[in-house]
Amino acid sequence: MRLIIDGPRSPQANMAIDEAILEAGPDTLRIYTWSPSGLSLGRATPASAVNLGGAERLGVTPVRRPTGGAALYHDELGEVTYSIVISNGDLLSLSVEESAARIAEAVALAARILGAADARVGGFQGPGGEALCYLNPGASDVVVLGRKVSGSAQLRRRGRILQQGTLLLRFDPLKWSRLIPTRTPPGELGRYVAGLSDLLGRPLSVEEAVEALVRGFEESLGLSLEPGTLTPREASIASRLAREKYSSREWLHAVP
């Protein structure tokens, strides 16, 4: 499988590249960061669920993802994101929930490699029903000491899977709550969500997290990852999508 270590890129470019790989690329694991920080909406999340004015004041760029789930803040210094496009018949034979959880095992292994010995997939006891994605239990949650450090969402198209997911390194509940209003009081968000650096009690660099994710995907999914880059066709499609779709007000405010 092709491996692309990418970023930092703008929120629009990140979403466009993931969709371009799904559309025209080989099976790929892409690991990336964001600059500027992003506020992403799942494909069925209404824009009214987040504070777009607050995002503008904070220099955070909103974007709608091609995958599902609720809203997320992607801090340019506090998160590493992955996307995987895969045509594996075994995974495609599973339900969305089952395959998402199977892929998320790679993230749980990465967290264990980094020192979170009890990292596991599933079992998150969040409040649910919130606009903030990390508060909602899902099959592919990665949980450390009862708190979620990773979530993911999936899209299937023409016999292929695109799964986008996060590994949270740091969590600032006050900033998150300013961008994504919740019924759960800001002072209680830390009961459910945490950055891996915060839980380990030591700073984690993006480079450490990327290396652990690569190992986690190789070992958990049995992949042989070969470093590569976007093809000219993928780059052309991504450029068009970033401009015409992911930068458009119509897409941001659309709820398919």
List CB contacts of 84: < 8 A, sequence separation 6 or more.
Answer: 28, 29, 30, 103, 161, 162, 163, 217
Given the candidates 1.20.120.1200, 3.30.930.10, 3.40.47.10, 3.10.450.50, the CATH classification of the domain at 2-253 is 3.30.930.10
Tell me the pLDDT tens digit for each residue of 25-54. 999 999 999 999 999 999 999 999 999 999
196 vs 186: CA distance, rounded Å: 19
Query: Does the annotation count 177 as an active-site position?
Result: no
**How sure is the predictor about 256, in pLDDT bands with cuts at 50, 70 and 90?**
low
| Strand, coil or helix: 113 | helix
- Per-domain boundaries in the chain: 2-253
What is the rounded average pLDDT of the residues 217-245?
98
Q: What is the reported pLDDT for 254?
A: 87
Q: What is the reported pLDDT for 235?
A: 98
Quickly list H helices, 25-172. Answer: 52-58, 89-92, 96-113
For 187-249, give the DSSP string. GGGGGTB--HHHHHTS---HHHHHHHHHHHHHHHHT---EE----HHHHHHHHHHHHHTTT-H
Tell me the pLDDT tens digit for each residue of 93-122. 999 999 999 999 999 999 999 999 999 999
What is the rounded average pLDDT of the residues 64-68?
96
Q: For the purposes of burial, counting CB atoms within 10 Å of the CB of 58, is it exposed (0-12), middle (13-18) or buried (19 or more)?
A: middle
Task: Give the other-Cβ count within 10 Å of 59's Cβ.
Answer: 9
**For the chain, what percent of residues have pLDDT higher than 90?**
97
Decide if 169 contacts 195 (C-beta within 8 A).
yes
Among 133, 144, 167, 180, the one annotated catalytic:
133
Q: What is the DSSP letter of 3?
A: E
Decide if 85 contacts 25 (C-beta within 8 A).
yes
Kindly tell me if the per-residue pLDDT of 74 is higher than 80. yes
